[in-house]
Structure 1
Amino acid sequence: MSELAESDPDTTNTAISEEALRKAEQYIEEEEGAANHMSGWLGIFLSTVAIVMSLFHMYAAYAIVPTQVLRPVHVGFVLFLSFLMFPVARRFRHRIMWWDWLVALLSIAIVVYLIMGGDDFTDRNTLPNAWDIFFGVALILLVLEAMRRTIGWILPAISICFLLYAFLGAYLPHPWTHKGYDIGRVVGFMYMTLEGIYGVAVDVSSSLIILFTIFGAFLQFSGAGKFYIDFSFSAMGGKPAGAGRTVVLASFLLGGPSGSGVATTVTLGTVAWPMLAKVGYERNAAGGLLAAGGLGAIISPPVMGAAAFIIAEFLKISYLDVLLMAVIPTALFYLALFLMVEIDVRKYGMGQTIIKKVDTVWNLTRHYWFHFLSLISIVVFMMWGFSPVLSVFWATVVSFLTSFLRPDTAMVSHDLFRGKGSISKHIFQSPLIQALKAGSVGMLSVGATCAGAGIIVGVVTLTGLGLKFSGIVIDYAGGSLLLTAIYTALVVWVIGLAVPVTASYIICAVITAPALIKLGVPDFAAHMFIFYYAVLSEVSPPTALSPFAASAITGGDPYKTTMQCWKYTIPAFLVPFIFVLDPSGQGLLLMGSTKALAAANGWEIVQVTLTAAAGIFALAVGFQGWLLVRATFIERAMLIVAGFALVYPGPVSNMLGFALVLLALAFHWRRRALPAPAAGSPGQ
């Protein structure tokens, strides 16, 4: 038991110091950028621009705004606000310098020049004139600088390497060589077409990601986030595993609408850490569990991470299809977490301490049921036939209207309608205005990342790098699908060490997915495989932002917390191999489309799901080393081998896996009456 657990329960509420919260905020800033906090007329101006940006995109969701206008205007907003809200260096923070105004105005001029050029502008993309090249080069440089300010220097450096590859292709050795392109051709492709910077990633950012960010902000400022945490505490409290279960359930409810791993980890951690300490979680183990729960935010419907929207665009399928593909893998991920926390209770003797419920589930649901309506309305609208864009638009409207059902959740104070107080104060200081502002500001780093990813995708498309790279990977793997999948996972993981999830997915989708597809893996399975391993970047040093943020809250060691997070999540992250290595494994994705559904029936889907669940169970017990009592080395080895065998699809490997599980459980059951060793603390 940790020291905090032994202290008075009331004192645990003060365990999170201001310093810990400040450190946690720093990790959020590393993911979303260290923004300026302006007051006075500058603060009002920036807030107004952010609100106008949100209103423009909500208008574009309902009305018809041409693609060749929407994407550049979106990038223009992102660049303008990024240069004014994110300083060129930390020593200039909280003030706007003259050069910030210069590049911000230049970003507007670039968009105005493009839109005023009309069809003539796009028609001369292969032979741009001097002004085209000037504004195109300026756009590329501004995108690189906006990325540097919002997410750091690594992705801009990678983008520069790709640009050099486009320019210097003729001087590279085989098989990387290509004819090379001059600056006019590169600029024409990147700036003057919808294939480069204004390509797929910006299309998704301008039409979907920002709308979901606004929707998440509406939920936050209407009190939905607080309700989800309170609901989880009430639903899972009163049981020995209540603390761990609460973290798992709350992370799902919070993460679904937010799609941000770090934000979910910090929001939940500030509330849940004292509770975890009280029942006996050691600092690093508690941080690992909180980070693992935050990681689930990126793969949890209905919002998932920004990369999920790009999957739909790359595959030319509906976003509802992506949500369906994520249902079973998400359920398996949370099954792994639930198994881990259940084992923790037995392993560390947590049954003596039970978290009391603050309120009943019935009372909370009776008063705030409409927050669930806001959450599920997106899927309901999609099932009614609305497009994803219109679905999230109307879901945001539902969230706004239902907030008025209670005075404490209303996004505009009820006093306004009663004629009490100043109208301007009620409007400009209302949660509605705060949500509109947060919706735009919260996606600036993602918008800059998507624009930068357009540079990378543009180079890959222009040079054919994706096909070259896939050929190299297949050659190294000797044509083996298993080795190709392992190499692909390693490539995605290595790239994810340095860049955020969205950028990692986009880069790998264009350079590694073709290798899997060449070997017969359906495109939707290949992209989901890459997506899940890109998500690992959230918990992989040196960019393990979720565990680092969790460790700042719990006071644990960042790297030990990261290893604890891996312990909680690794069983679930072997699941993607199932839907890549064998056609039957694609049942975990519900096959992704009606064409593919003809290849499998319901029983096959149930069978592969149960097999995957058994594999997760075996790996969870094997990695934890405990079930009813401490597992022996032989039992652990058998279960870990069984888990890997069940993850590898095929009748022989599955039979071996089930046989090893049954044998290990039989050995374990025989020893259940033996006295257990003294309990320790999680992570020790």
Structure 2
Amino acid sequence: MSQHDGNGVDPSEIDTKGEVFGHGIESRPIFWIAIAFSTFQIVTAAYSPLSSLPVRSIHVGFLLLLVFALYAVIDRENPLKVAADWALGAASFALSLYHLVFEAELIQRSGDPSTADLAVGTIVVALVFEASRRLMGWELPALCLGFVAYAAFGQYLPAPLDHRGYGFDQIVNQYFLGTEGIYGIPCYVSATYIFLFILFGSFLEQAGMIRLFTDVALGTVGHTKGGPAKVAVVTSGLMGTINGSGIANVVTTGALTIPLMKRFGYRAEFAGAVEATASMGGQIMPPVMGAVAFIMAETLNISYAEVCKAAAIPALLYYASALWMVHLEAGVAGLHGMSKDQCPSALGALKRQWFLMVPLGALVYLLLTGFTPMYSGTVGLALTAIVILGSSIAANMGGMAGRVVFWLVLGVASSAFFKLGIDVVVGIVAALAAVNFFVRGGRETLRMSVRGLVEGARSAVPVGVACTLVGTLIGTMTLTGVAGTFTQGLIALSGDSLFLALLLTMVASLILGMGIPTIPTYIITASLVAPILYKMGVPLIVSHMFVFYFGILADLTPPVALAAFAAASIARADPSATGWWSVRVAMAGFVVPFMAVYDPSLMLEGGTLLDTAYMVVKALVAIGLWGAGTIGFLFTRLAWWERAVAFAAAALLVAAIPWTDQVGFVLSAAFVAWHWFQSRKAVAA
């Protein structure tokens, strides 16, 4: 199943089988490295004891140390490889302290690097490439290496691709010594917001949030037509609110939902496709979106809440389209839901574990009221620890006394965030941990919390390494100005046609995203294409969300569909077939970003609430018809010409020409009424 050669490891295999990270966590040295990594990130987030560049550098040092140490554990049968891996890991971490130890000197000689600066910078950049190659295979490192080669030798290319030429010292200075290269915005976001939110999701998962979400989904849609598959969509959507990683979402929820779908008659490929499609939507589902959302906020210099606001309606439409496609497929296959007595009570599940929603609610409140993601993530993480430790003590005490203690702890902790400061909060967490050490059952809760720290560090590695490596690409574009050349070429190719520019952007995002993760796909495409769309009148955040959306869909698109491959490994299905089924399930969602570009009110950018409501209705109708045409089913099976009519009606609603809306709605109503009447006649006959 692996798509990579040599030592490269397929990310889907990493996350689904534990072939890299699972072995690493079983090793005691890896365990303590992960604990130290998480502790460092929490301390720097809470107290900011170091300036920004050393924090980024040490963050990268921990990432590289974990990657090489994990491979040392895998290669334990070969002493020479083990020694080499540990040496590379130790060198990576030692050199990551360079910016901290020589911070003052580096500032004084800024722009004039010394021989030591150049040597250390070259080694660190090479180590980043090697760690990325091992973790992700050759695709992304080869692409970034091409940009490095362009920075070094681009002056020999013909016009207009050439540049004026740059010395070795300028290139190393760009990549290593400032914040335009490997320590740029993606690395900064990884070292601050992303790690905290990954830890937040990891703690909630350890506390049982997956079970809560699954029970709620089973209780609400499990008994409906196609219920097991709808459970997968709803569960993955709920998981998306706390986990911004599509692959991780596939692994955590897919282990439960894919076997459930197969048990109720869904083919393995379809079960994997539904889970992959639903899980990838987690990256655009507020409040905890994927790493790209944080990078977007920093790049556009807007609040993270603004990004969440723009993403909210498209995310809901994405999941609505997935539910609709599952419903139609269930109609084609004649699959029914589970019996009600097999489904747990959604209300009962919320009553049992309502306290797990407290940190998520606090996070949403803080983000929407204007607090920074750093502060919001710190509060959410600390509240999660307090809720987990406090509920453990309350459960062991039992009765009214336990409930009183829990509410008292929660009240004091909540007031502490707003009035008493972080020191008091840390004291509360430490006190609760100490009490859990002595009460019955409390030590298991402490072990669960430690597992949360380790799992958080583990999950941060692929994201962090990708963010670091893609800095070389950004550094090349800012150094050489190649983005401007590309922009001029694409404008000429599109002929000033917005639709053609959007189509080319979609194709570029899908092709790039097939071989590299969502983060670099977004960064590359947004850097090159978003300025073009902006010149054509598309608001910046809408153009960036357009690129982001199709970067996510690329993970579902064969021939290289990482999310589909991860789901296929759980479903024991053919990866390629699962990928094509994923495209089919997600097909209705392809229309959403186009509609948002033509009317930004769909992303709450301009217009009134009435405009937004109209766009939502229009999008839902278009999704409904597009899905019916794709699956070939509505009330009954559709003939080929009926599918063509459904596609035509949907296309009219997507188009931005004023008269097409009226024609599209009339055609839609006529088609649905006629098909319903025909289906009733067929049933009567």
TM over 0.5: yes
Q: Which residue of 1 aligns with 2:400?
A: none
Match of 1:475 in 2: 492
Structure 1, 187-196 or 283-292: larger mean CA deviation:
283-292
Q: Is the 8 A contact 1:24 1:550 kept in 2?
A: no
1:48 paired to 2:32: yes
Deviates more, 1:180-189 or 1:340-349: 340-349
1:60-139 pair list within 5 angstroms: 60-64=44-48, 65-87=50-72, 97-139=82-124
2:610 to 603, 613, 632: 603
Q: Equivalent residue for 1:646?
A: 653
Per the alignment, in what secondary structure is the counterpart of residue 530 of structure 1?
Answer: helix
Superposed, 1:93-492 pairs within 5 Å as 97-351=82-336, 354=339, 356-404=341-389, 406-407=391-392, 417=435, 420=438, 426=443, 430-492=447-509
Cα displacement (A) at 1:421: 8.4
CA distance in 1, matches of 2:10, 2:175: 37
Question: In 1, Cα distance between the equivalents of 2:269 and 2:171?
Answer: 48
- Residue 653 and residue 419 in structure 1: after superposition, are their counterparts in 2 closer, same or farther (change >3 A)? closer
Match of 2:669 among 658, 662, 666: 662
Q: Residues 276 and 567 of structure 2 are in contact (CA less than 8 Å); yes or no, is this contact kept in structure 1?
A: yes
Amino acid at match of 1:139: V
Distance 1:25 1:675, change over 3 A: farther
Shifted more, 279-288 versus 477-486: the winner is: 279-288
Separation in 1, partners of 2:622, 2:528 = 30
Q: Is the 8 A contact 2:437 2:446 kept in 1?
A: no
Evaluate the alpha carbon distance shift between residue 263 and residue 419 of structure 1 in structure 2; reply closer, same or farther with a 3 A threshold: closer
Give the match's secondary structure for 1:430.
helix
Is the 1:492–1:505 contact (alpha carbons within 8 Å) kept by the matching residues of 2?
A: yes
CA contact under 8 A between 1:374 and 1:395: conserved in structure 2? yes
Residues 451-472 of structure 1: CA deviation (Å, up to 9, x unaligned) = 1011100001111111111111
Letter of the 1:588 counterpart: L
How far 1:573 sits from its partner (Å)? 2.0
RMSD: 3.0
Other structure's SS at 1:258 match = coil
CA contact (8 A) 1:84 1:96 kept: no
Among candidates 582, 590, 597, match of residue 604 of structure 2: 590
User: Measured at CA, do residues 94 and 533 of structure 1 come closer, stay the same or move farther in structure 2, by a change above 3 Å?
Assistant: farther
Change (3 A) 1:276 1:24: farther
How many percent identity over aligned positions? Answer: 30
| Bigger relative CO (Cα 8 Å, ≥ 6 apart) | 1
Q: Deviations over 1:1-30 (max 9, x none)?
A: xxxxxxxxxxxxxxxxxxxxxx99963448
Maintained 8 Å contact 1:415/1:421: no
- Following TM superposition, by how much is the alpha carbon of 1:197 offset from its aligned partner in structure 2, in angstroms? 1.1
- Cα gap change, 1:317 to 1:86, in 2 (>3 Å): farther
1:618 and 2:625 are equivalent in the alignment = yes
Change (3 A) 1:509 1:100: same
Match of 2:641 in 1: 634
CA–CA distance in 2 between the matches of 1:340 and 1:193? 48
Judged with a 3 Å threshold, the aligned counterparts in structure 2 of structure 1 residues 83 and 342 are, in CA distance, closer, same or farther, namely same
Q: Which residue of 1 aligns with 2:21?
A: 35
Determine the C-alpha separation between the residues in 2 that align with 1:93 and 1:514: 51
Conserved? CA contact 1:24–1:549, under 8 Å: no
Listed one character per residue, the Cα deviations across residues 620-665 of structure 1 (whole Å, up to 9, x for unaligned) are: 1111111111112222101112212222223122223223212322
Match for residue 511 of structure 2 among 487, 491, 494: 494
Whether the 8 Å CA contact 1:302–1:376 is kept in 2: the answer is: no
492-501 or 361-370, which moves further after superposition? 361-370
C-alpha displacement of 1:676:
6.7
Partner of 2:680: 673
**Residue identity opposite 1:612 in structure 2:** A
Distance 2:385 2:274 in 1: 33
Task: Give the distance between the partners of 2:135 and 2:327, measured in 1 at CA.
Answer: 39
Q: Deviations over 1:573-608 (max 9, x none)?
A: 22111222x3xx1111111xxxxx4xx112111112
Question: In the alignment, which residue of structure 2 is the partner of 1:574?
Answer: 591
- Return the letter of the residue paired with 1:435: G
Whether the aligned pair in 1 keeps the contact of 2:41 and 2:191 (CA below 8 Å) is: yes
After superposition, what is the alpha-carbon deviation per residue over 1:230-253, rounded to whole angstroms, capped at 9, x for unaligned?
Answer: 221122233334223211111111
Residue of structure 2 in register with 1:524 after alignment: 541
Deviation larger for 223-232 or 103-112: 103-112
Cα deviation digits, residues 425-446 of structure 1 (max 9, x gap): 9389611111111111211111
- My pick for the range that moved more, 60-69 or 620-629, is 60-69
Q: Residue type of the partner of 2:29? A: F
TM-score, with structure 2 as normaliser: 0.88
Q: State whether residues 248 and 293 of structure 1, in contact with CA within 8 Å, keep that contact through their aligned partners in structure 2.
A: yes
1:405: how far off? 5.0
Deviation at 1:112, TM superposition (A): 2.5
Post-superposition Cα deviations, 1:95-148, rounded to whole Å, max 9, x if no partner, equal 972222322232233233222222431443433221111011111101101111
Distance across 2 between alignment mates of 1:33 and 1:519: 47
* CA–CA distance in structure 2, aligned partners of residues 94 and 442 of structure 1: 27
2-structure distance, mates of 1:478, 1:25: 39
Give the distance between the partners of 2:366 and 2:572, measured in 1 at CA.
43
Q: Which amino acid aligns with 1:628?
A: F
Match in the other structure for 2:5 = none
- 1:429–1:93 CA distance, 2 compared to 1 (3 A): farther
- 8 Å Cα contact 2:222-2:338 kept in structure 1: no
Deviations 1:302-344 (A, max 9, x none): 1121111111111111111111111100110111112122223
In the TM superposition, residue 72 of structure 1 has moved relative to its aligned partner by 1.2
Letter paired with 2:13: Y
Alpha-carbon contact 1:31-1:500 (below 8 Å) kept: no
Contact 1:122 1:193 in 2 (8 A): no
Cα contact 2:224–2:337 (8 A) shared by 1: no
Partner deviation per Cα, 1:251-275 (whole Å, 9 max, x = no partner): 1112221222222223323222343
* Map of 2:569 onto structure 1: 552
Instruction: Indicate conservation of the 8 Å contact 1:126/1:184, yes or no.
Output: no
Query: What is the one-letter code of the residue matched to 1:121?
Result: L
Number of the residue aligned with 2:411:
none
Q: 1:76 deviation in Å?
A: 1.5
AA paired with 1:378? Answer: L
Query: Which secondary structure state, in structure 2, belongs to the residue aligned with residue 512 of structure 1?
Result: helix
**SS at the partner of 2:496?**
coil
Tell me the equivalent position of 1:16: none
Amino acid in the other structure paired with 1:560: A
2:623–2:650 Cα contact (<8 Å) kept: yes
- 1:24–1:266 Cα contact (<8 Å) kept: no
